[in-house]
Structure 1
């Protein structure tokens, strides 16, 4: 079964980006809004303190788990926002490269933001997502 997300690449905009400019989900779809995936282990402790890549890996593993709990996968994601607690572009790029590794060919529209602080102690990375599945759940 194909997912309900169709990625749009507008050739009137630069093709030098590694994400689609838009995503379309035709009705009827089941929508899933995933809270920001954080770099927390099962005990609620922040992992990989001080390590942007290490935290991004945990964030993406947690995102996959949250999606699976809703019956979805990364290929059902229609939009993400990647938050990185840093004003240094190199830190944002480090987190983005890990994010892209997990997203693979499914290069959904995404916003990458450098922010001042995130919600948990020592947290450097967070990813929130919106996913859609074809058809309504029975």
Structure 2
């Protein structure tokens, strides 16, 4: 496995869903996944108005994209989440979506950034997830 995830001493530690602050990659092939949203295979929006449901579906779509590139979440070194109209009070719904898929897919979330935005490309889309992976 070309990716090691750590929480170094000297920065805040978090056990939330086994999240890690740093990814160390030693592979040679990079995989960049474009922003994934909560659409199903037919292009229909999943979980309208439900942040947890949309996070879960977007995460599942990232998993599908990774698999198509010969990668898994074990290869992910970076995630970026864009959330519409972000407020701190939304954190429990956001984490509920992550926890649901983390359990389903047995993943350890990689280092990530959550960026609040006013709007995404289409009304009703609440979250978009980008991923970067490194594989041997």
Q: Same fold, TM exceeding 0.5?
A: yes
Instruction: Tell me the CA shift for residue 101 of structure 1.
Output: 4.0
Kindly indicate whether the alpha-carbon contact (under 8 Å) linking 2:29 and 2:134 is maintained by their aligned counterparts in 1: yes
Instruction: Tell me the CA shift for residue 17 of structure 1.
Output: 5.7
Q: Which runs of 5+ in 1 are unaligned?
A: none
1:38 is matched with 37
From the two aligned structures, give the one with the greater helix fraction.
Answer: 2
Instruction: Tell me the CA shift for residue 105 of structure 1.
Output: 5.7
Kindly indicate whether the alpha-carbon contact (under 8 Å) linking 1:84 and 1:92 is maintained by their aligned counterparts in 2: no
TM-score, normalised via structure 1 length: 0.84
2:80 is matched with 81
After the TM superposition, list the runs of 4 or more consecutive aligned residues in structure 1 that deviate by more than 4 angstroms: none
TM-score, normalised via structure 2 length: 0.85
Instruction: Tell me the CA shift for residue 54 of structure 1.
Output: 1.2
Does 2:71 align with 1:72? yes
2:25 is matched with 25
Structure with the greater alpha carbon radius of gyration: 1
Kindly indicate whether the alpha-carbon contact (under 8 Å) linking 2:56 and 2:100 is maintained by their aligned counterparts in 1: no
- CA RMSD in angstroms comes to 1.8
Tell me how far apart the structure 2 counterparts of residues 44 and 88 of structure 1 sit (CA, whole Å): 28
1:4 is matched with 2
1:125 is matched with 127
Q: Deviations over 1:75-97 (max 9, x none)?
A: 11111011111232222441233
Distance 1:101 1:49, change over 3 A: closer
Instruction: Tell me the CA shift for residue 16 of structure 1.
Output: 3.4
Q: Deviations over 1:35-92 (max 9, x none)?
A: 0111112232222111111111110111111111101111111110111112322224
